[in-house]
């Protein structure tokens, strides 16, 4: 069960590191008031975190490790570990969407910063870090499933506004700055644990019966193409192309449309016959578009 061990090591490292945060809260592990718990090696803050994790892993059964791998991690009462809800969100401010966050009382609400796609457009890493710090100061939870660094490949994906956009370098810089703001800059004493999401190409997944691999090219591609043509911003592309749908929408002057679609557009625009528009579709693009 190498996988369970690796994941448990990560989870437990976070758990132990988070114990160092100075705000007064009920401890969910290593209660200092409990003499039995205090004697356990993994609770000794003077020890190296890696040794504490090793000690704790040695005590947990396989069943206990597995029950720690889900977001609502089960308690391990015999070791003084309470249950923990890992799921909290802070993409552009602490949100009460995650069950791990409870707003109310002294924290009736949290600041809602602008959506990340707009903040990212400032290209200001200092700002991204400052926003991350702002999240932490308003949060009651210790783990955030943030930031979202999926590459925004196309407007078909309904969660693009959560991301820094389609540029991998901007996304990487955004992630580094935002996580630094969230976690703090004090070695392994983190303020909260940030969790960059989601798995690669999540933006193209098949979720809840919604198939994003295939789409109606007529309604998705036509509007931006027609707009571009009417503004005279469309460049002719001969031969194979590796352009993305996003380039069409962002008016980067490049287009790939199946030939059958081209006929449809030409007809719609009543384009002069001498105007030679030659577009070719590359094979990977063709396999993702279903004409309807
Ligand atoms: C102290 O911790 C142990 C587990 O380490 C637990 O069994 C016991 O119930 C705890 N005592 C109190 C008073 O919470
Ligand atoms: C970047 O953001 C920081 C923090 O908000 C701000 O002080 C600074 O003026 C910004 N830089 C630019 C060039 O706008
Ligand atoms: C386009 O790509 C296909 C497959 O790789 C290749 O057979 C064809 O020659 C290419 N066409 C042009 C114009 O480059």
What residue ranges line ligand 1, CB within 6 angstroms?
A: 34, 36-37, 78-80
| Ligand 2 contacts CB of residue 125 (under 6 A) | no
Give, in words, the CATH class of 86-290.
alpha beta
Contact 67, 55 (CB under 8 A): no
- pLDDT given for residue 277 in this prediction: 33
Pocket test for ligand 2, best of 122, 126, 129 (most atoms within 8 A of CB): 126
List, in sequence order, every residue forming a beta bridge with 210; answer none if it has no partner: 207
Q: What are the residue ranges spanned by the domains of the chain?
A: 2-84, 86-290
β-strand pairing of 193-194 with 143-144 = parallel
Closest CA to 149 of 194, 114, 98: 194
CA–centroid distance, 290 to ligand 3, in Å, is 21
CA–centroid distance, 264 to ligand 3, in Å, is 23
| Ligand 2 contacts CB of residue 124 (under 6 A) | yes
3-state per-residue secondary structure call for 194-261: ECCECCCCHHHCEECCEECCCCEHHHHHHHHHHHHHHCCCCCCCCCCCCCCHHHHHCCCCCCCCCHHH
Residue bearing tokens 């401890």: 27
Closest CA to 178 of 166, 158, 159, 195: 195
- Residues 171-181: tens digit of each pLDDT: 888 988 898 89
Spatial distance between the Cα atoms of 192 and 198, rounded to a whole number of angstroms: 18
Beta strands in the chain (DSSP E): 72-73, 84-85, 143-144, 193-194, 206-207, 210-211
- pLDDT given for residue 288 in this prediction: 36
In terms of pTM, does the model score above 0.85? Answer: no
Spatial distance between the Cα atoms of 218 and 197, rounded to a whole number of angstroms: 31
Quick one: average pLDDT of 249-256? 37
- pLDDT given for residue 248 in this prediction: 39
The ligand with the least distance to the CA atom of 285 is 3
Angle at alpha carbon of residue 138, lines to 133 and 144, rounded to 5°: 70
Residue bearing tokens 């030409």: 266
Q: How many Å separate Cα 105 from the centre of its chain? A: 29
Question: Buried b / exposed e across 59-69, counting CB within 10 Å, b at 16+?
Answer: ebeeebbebbe
- Residues 64-112: tens digit of each pLDDT: 999 988 888 999 999 999 998 889 999 999 888 889 888 888 778 888 9
What rounded mean pLDDT belongs to the chain? 70
Q: Specify the 3-state DSSP secondary structure of 69.
A: coil
Q: pLDDT higher for 253 or 118?
A: 118
Q: pLDDT higher for 2 or 200?
A: 200
Provide the pLDDT confidence category of residue 215 given band limits of 50, 70 and 90. low
Spatial distance between the Cα atoms of 152 and 154, rounded to a whole number of angstroms: 6
- Residues 144-199: tens digit of each pLDDT: 889 988 888 667 677 889 999 888 788 888 988 898 898 888 876 788 888 888 86
Name the strand (E) or helix (H) holding 292.
none
Question: Nearest residue CA, atom 4 of ligand 3?
Answer: 283
The ligand with the least distance to the CA atom of 238 is 3
Q: Percent of the chain at pLDDT above 90?
A: 21
- Residues 216-244: tens digit of each pLDDT: 544 544 454 444 444 433 433 333 333 33
Assess whether the previous peptide bond of 44 is cis (omega < 30° from 0): no
Quick one: average pLDDT of 3-20? 47
């Amino acid at each position: 069960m190498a996988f369970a061990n690796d994941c448990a090591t990560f989870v437990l490292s976070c758990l132990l590191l988070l114990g160092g945060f100075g705000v007064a809260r009920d401890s969910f592990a290593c209660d200092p008031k409990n003499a039995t718990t205090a004697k356990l090696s993994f609770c000794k803050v003077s020890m190296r975190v890696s040794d504490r994790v090793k000690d704790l892993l040695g005590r947990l059964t396989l069943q206990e490790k597995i029950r720690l791998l889900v977001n609502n991690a089960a308690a391990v009462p015999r070791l003084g570990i309470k249950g923990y809800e890992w799921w909290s969100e802070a993409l552009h401010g602490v949100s009460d969407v995650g069950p791990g966050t409870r707003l109310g009382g002294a924290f009736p609400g949290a600041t809602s910063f602008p959506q990340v796609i707009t903040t990212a457009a400032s290209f200001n890493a200092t700002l991204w870090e400052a926003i991350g710090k702002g999240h932490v100061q308003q949060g009651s939870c210790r783990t955030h499933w943030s930031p979202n660094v999926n590459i925004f490949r196309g407007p078909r994906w309904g969660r693009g506004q959560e991301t820094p956009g389609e540029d991998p370098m901007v996304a990487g810089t955004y992630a580094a700055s935002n996580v630094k703001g969230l976690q703090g800059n004090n070695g392994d004493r983190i303020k909260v644990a940030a969790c960059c999401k989601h798995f690669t190409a999540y933006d193209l997944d098949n979720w809840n019966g919604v198939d994003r691999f295939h789409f109606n090219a007529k309604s998705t591609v036509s509007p931006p193409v027609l707009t571009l043509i009417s503004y005279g911003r469309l460049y002719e592309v001969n031969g194979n192309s590796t352009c993305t749908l996003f380039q069409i929408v962002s008016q980067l002057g490049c287009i790939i449309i199946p030939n059958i679609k081209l006929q449809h557009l030409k007809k719609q625009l009543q384009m002069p016959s001498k105007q030679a528009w030659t577009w070719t579709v590359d094979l990977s693009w063709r396999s993702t578009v279903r004409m309807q």
